[in-house]
Amino acid sequence: MYSEATLQQLEEIACQLRIDSLEMIYRRQAGHPGWSLSAAEIMAALFFNKLRLDPARPDWPERDRFILSKGHASAILYAALARRGFFPSSDLAGWGQLDCHLQGHPDRLKTHGVEMSTGILGHGLPIGVGLALAARLDGAAHRVYVVLGDGECQAGVIWEGAMAAAKFQLANLTAILDYNDVQLDGPVHEIMPLEPLAAKWRAFNWNVIEINGHNLRQVLEALDLAAETHNGPTVIIAHTTKGKGVSFMENRSQWHGVPPTAAQLEQALGELRRPAGAGRN
């Protein structure tokens, strides 16, 4: 259903979002590189194919709602919003400066296109429940998308939100879980195991789709399937690699929140700029 041309275009965007994120984190010498890299295909599929948005009208009532529950990955969100036209790409250079609208973590009151301020983990899912309930009350057709980190599924409020979404049968709510298995202090499966994760979501009465989160066709088809599912909320468990695309960052928890040096950035960009398609998953 998706042409090779579409997939290739989105792959190039995902690659560009990775490059943008690393350059931003390097320039600022702060940020969370690992997660920005693992979610690049998810963000490319959402912002450049699936989400109904109008950058000229950030408050367009019929827009799809997107919440980056794990606000630490603000770099890739800002990169996506800029490339999508919500604000000039030149703003990215000011990220973190006192007079820049781009805060360390996303701020809905300062940055166009940011639906909700995030950064403390666990809020995105229950807030998404509220947005989805409101859409249903209004008879609105738009959908609500929440991107979750895996580590934040250790927070109890995620499961409070999961229970509520199932109780209210919110088929207009889709969660995409970036399952890279790395968190600040080490591997998720060591710090506080989540497995059996798919079974947990099923036990909470969610529909579950498991995919390779770096395979754009799988990401797009899972989002389509979720939208066509009418019996309650769906979670897409996207198996990903933290630090994807940069050899020395992949699967390393030490790259959760550490910026690269100049030499490391150069090596990373060199690896990312290799011809796309060759390494398609």
Partner 1 sequence: MGELAMREAYGRALAEYGTSNPKLVVLDPDTSSSTLSCYFAQRFPERFFNVGIAEPCMVDIAVGLALAGKVPFANAFAALLSFRAMEQIRTCVCYARTNVKLVAGYAGVSDYKDGPTHHAITDIATMRALPEMTVIVPGDGAEAARWVPIIAEYDGPVYLRINRAGALPTHNAGLPLQIGKGLTLRPGRDVTIVAAGTLVGRSLLAAEELAALGLDARVIEMHTIKPLDVELVAQAAEETGALVSAEEHSIVGGLGSALAEALADCHPAPLERVGLRDTFARTAPDPESLMDAFGMGVADIVAAARRAAARCAAARKRK
Q: Residue 31: exposed, middle, or buried by beta-carbon count in 10 A (0-12, 13-18, 19+)? A: buried
Q: What DSSP string describes 216-252?
A: HHHHHHHHHHHHT--SS-EEEEEE--TTTT-TTTTT-
Decide whether 44 or 146 has the Cβ nearer to partner 1: 146
**What is the smallest separation between the CB atom of 125 and partner 1, expressed in angstroms?**
8
The answer to whether the CB of 241 falls within 8 A of the CB of 214 is yes
* Residue 221: count of CB within 10 angstroms of its CB: 16
**What is the smallest separation between the CB atom of 217 and partner 1, expressed in angstroms?**
31
**What is the smallest separation between the CB atom of 177 and partner 1, expressed in angstroms?**
18
Q: Does 129 bind partner 1 (CB under 8 A)?
A: yes
As a whole number of angstroms, the distance between CA 215 and CA 145 comes to 19
**What is the smallest separation between the CB atom of 129 and partner 1, expressed in angstroms?**
5
Taking every pair of Cα atoms in the chain, the longest distance, rounded to a whole number of angstroms, is: 53
**What is the smallest separation between the CB atom of 36 and partner 1, expressed in angstroms?**
22
Q: Are strands 182-183 and 207-212 parallel, antiparallel or unpaired?
A: unpaired
Decide whether 152 or 181 has the Cβ nearer to partner 1: 152
Interface region with partner 1, contact rule CB under 8 A, candidates 20-28, 101-109, 216-224, 248-256: 101-109
The answer to whether the CB of 67 falls within 8 A of the CB of 128 is yes
Residue whose entry in the numeric block shows the structure tokens 């909700």: 116
Q: Does 134 bind partner 1 (CB under 8 A)?
A: yes
CA neighbor of 81 nearest in space, from 60, 109, 61, 51: 51
User: Among positive and negative, which fits the CA dihedral 211, 215, 221, 224?
Assistant: positive
**What is the smallest separation between the CB atom of 133 and partner 1, expressed in angstroms?**
6
Decide whether 2 or 168 has the Cβ nearer to partner 1: 168
Residues of this chain, 149-178, that bind partner 1 according to CB under 8 A = 156-157, 160-161, 163-164, 167-168
Decide whether 45 or 53 has the Cβ nearer to partner 1: 53
Interface region with partner 1, contact rule CB under 8 A, candidates 128-136, 212-220, 227-235, 245-253: 128-136
What is the x/- site pattern for partner 1, positions 20-59, by CB under 8 A?
A: ----------------------------------------
**What is the smallest separation between the CB atom of 268 and partner 1, expressed in angstroms?**
32
Q: Does 227 bind partner 1 (CB under 8 A)?
A: no
Decide whether 2 or 159 has the Cβ nearer to partner 1: 159
184, 190, 191, 196: CA torsion to nearest 10: 110
